[in-house]
Amino acid sequence: MNNVSLTGLITGPNLFSYIGTLSLQDHNDIADCHNIATLSADLGHNRYTDSSGWFEEYVRTLNFLGWSLYGDSILTRTQHIESGSVADFLVQSAEAMRDSRQANAMIDTLDTLKTNSPAMLSFDQETREGESFQIIPARYDAQNNLNIAVYKFELSVDIKKHHFLFWNWERRSATIVQQRAFLRLDRNELDRKRALIKKKLNEQLMRRFNLRRIAS
């Protein structure tokens, strides 16, 4: 696999956006850990009727697998989409972050997703067309630690749309509730859990779609 062209990943209700180039090991570890976290949260909570409980279990499972939570807190806030698409909202939110690369990475990931029909169809189905989905930027810090921000979104609209990320909503017609958590990977702890991870993945594995830059 040529990891240089990878912009992100879709698995279940999760869309990952890579800021820079991740190693193939970290790319696979991200997919494996979030596969298990999603399935664990689904066992204990309904994604759509118990969003807070689901997200807390999701983060708790990641923490068990070696992802430490910054500040030991999960934040919640409500946003309104004034106009435009969810994709526009995601890019604008990324532009407000301190890391200037995050917006460009999000644009690359979304542009790649537009051209990947199987990935887009899976994301629509897994999220009930945006009712509950997660956007997860991933990057390395100066010490080469792998960091992620997990943004859990709930999109409330009157009419559901296919390719909901790119649909242009009219003014005040869509509301987003956002929860977020920031985590860093402890690779030593993850290595101690690899046998368990392999066992869990052998029991059930979600589909995965690698997102790659379009050759110019």
* Domain ranges, ordered by start, for the chain: 3-211
Query: Has residue 126 got a pLDDT over 60?
Result: yes
pLDDT of residue 79: 82
Checking if the pLDDT of 19 tops 60, the result is yes
**Residue 196's pLDDT band (boundaries 50, 70, 90)?**
very high
Q: How far apart are CA 17 and CA 24, in angstroms?
A: 14
Looking at the predicted structure, is the pLDDT value of residue 3 above 80?
A: no
Supply angle C-alpha 138, 142, 144, rounded to 5. Answer: 60
Nearest partner of 7 among 100, 139, 130, 182, judged by Cα: 139
| pLDDT confidence of residue 165 | 95
Q: Which fold has domain 3-211?
A: Delta-endotoxin CytB (3.40.198)
41 or 101, higher pLDDT:
41
Mean pLDDT (the chain, rounded): 91
Nearest to 160, CA basis, from 186, 200, 127, 194: 127
pLDDT of residue 215: 60
DSSP percent split of the chain into helix, strand, coil, nearest 5: 45, 30, 30
